[in-house]
Amino acid sequence: MGRNSATVGRRLGAAVLVSGALALTGCGTDDNSGLPGALDFTEENLRCGPEGALLASGSSAQANAMEVWVNTYQASCPGGQVTYKATGSGAGVQEFLQGTTAFAGSDSVLSEEEIAESRSVCADGGRAVHLPLVAGPIAVGYHLPGVEDLMLDAPTMARIFDSGITRWNDPAIAALNPHARLPDLPITPFHRSDGSGTTDNFTAYLHAAAPEAWRHAPGKTWRGRGGQSADGSSNLVGMVKRYEGAISYFELSYAHRNGISTARLDTGAGSPVAATVTAASRALSGARPGGGDLALTLDYATHEAGRYPIVLVTYEILCDRGNRPGSLEQVRAFLRYAAGDAGQRALAGIDYAPIPAATIQQVRRRVDALA
């Protein structure tokens, strides 16, 4: 199979061109396997907003979380239709800045230029703010028959995704997996073709943990050499499931829902760490907001035992002031539920990590103060 960057051979073309957008309404999607239905709640933690339609878009990383939240909210508030389109972080931010959605989901913080641009969308002197609601591990999923336990470290992973290591029985991989029967099979790394916060966080990890092997700057747009591409996390999962020798990165919830094996990481802590909610929560425990905003600083290069460093935080991005009057109360009601105890508890059952308690308290205050 060819390894031209962002180009998929004839055998893959049709599958890769499938749209990654996922629209979530109160009826849910056709595939709800592995996701809980509407959760029990009380008036104390879920208060309905006014009737009407609420549209948001962005991060595909939080699509499974949004599916549960929307279904639960809609069960209590059938008069308010909530639609979330998983178009990717980059597209979601642009749609918000164009004024077509009430809020955006993004796995990356806005640039200074984007914050300045938001002032033209937010009335009354408002600007865009970051409300962290979803967090979790980015798993490295692979399709390698006969290899159920695979360990990688940051330098080896960086070389794989930058076309420096091209076969599964490469000595660098073999040294990390002395008991595995690694096949003499080409490695086909898949990356996101769309602007992606997952890509931003994954490449931030490679850049921080293996700077000598990964010399590309982190970003929403893939900068590595070679590989194949697909848009959206769901399509990356589809490529890994379909093709032997494939490897890619996506949220843990996607890996579990699709039965995909995920690599453990050698972080230099003494024992390798798997992509789990618990290990991601440990890595997130030290993250603190800074600069007067709720954007969190993450330590991708941690060597502390039991901490899985490839993590992301998804932010709901909206105006602090100057939100559209027709949607403000419904946005408040929906985000109050998502940031509340019931909304955050729902995340653990679908492979997301709850936002640290001190931070989620600040999020709740910010939601109440939206104007």
Digit-coded pLDDT (tens) for 337-359:
999 999 999 888 899 988 989 99
Q: Which domains does the chain have, with CATH numbers?
A: 19-135+314-369 (3.40.190.10), 138-284 (3.40.190.10)
pLDDT at 183 exceeding the cut of 90? yes
Tell me the helix, strand and coil percentages in the chain, rounded to 5: 35, 20, 50
In angstroms, rounded to a whole number, what is the distance separating the alpha carbons of residues 30 and 26? 12
pLDDT of residue 50: 85
pLDDT at 200 exceeding the cut of 60? yes
| Residue 196 assigned ligand-binding role | yes
| Residue 59 assigned ligand-binding role | yes
| Residue 320 assigned ligand-binding role | no
- Count CB atoms within 10 A of the CB of residue 234: 22
| Residue 198 assigned ligand-binding role | yes
In angstroms, rounded to a whole number, what is the distance separating the alpha carbons of residues 92 and 220? 12
Nearest to 308 by CA among 277, 352, 331: 277
| Residue 197 assigned ligand-binding role | yes
| Residue 89 assigned ligand-binding role | yes
The length of the chain in residues reads 371
Nearest to 107 by CA among 300, 281, 316: 316
In angstroms, rounded to a whole number, what is the distance separating the alpha carbons of residues 81 and 325? 16
Q: What is the pLDDT of residues 72-119, one digit of tens each?
A: 999 989 888 999 999 999 999 999 999 999 999 999 999 999 999 999
**pLDDT confidence bin for 270, thresholds 50/70/90:** confident
Of 108-112, 170-174, 183-187, give the lowest mean pLDDT range: 108-112
What's the mean pLDDT when you consider all of the chain? 87
In angstroms, rounded to a whole number, what is the distance separating the alpha carbons of residues 49 and 63? 22
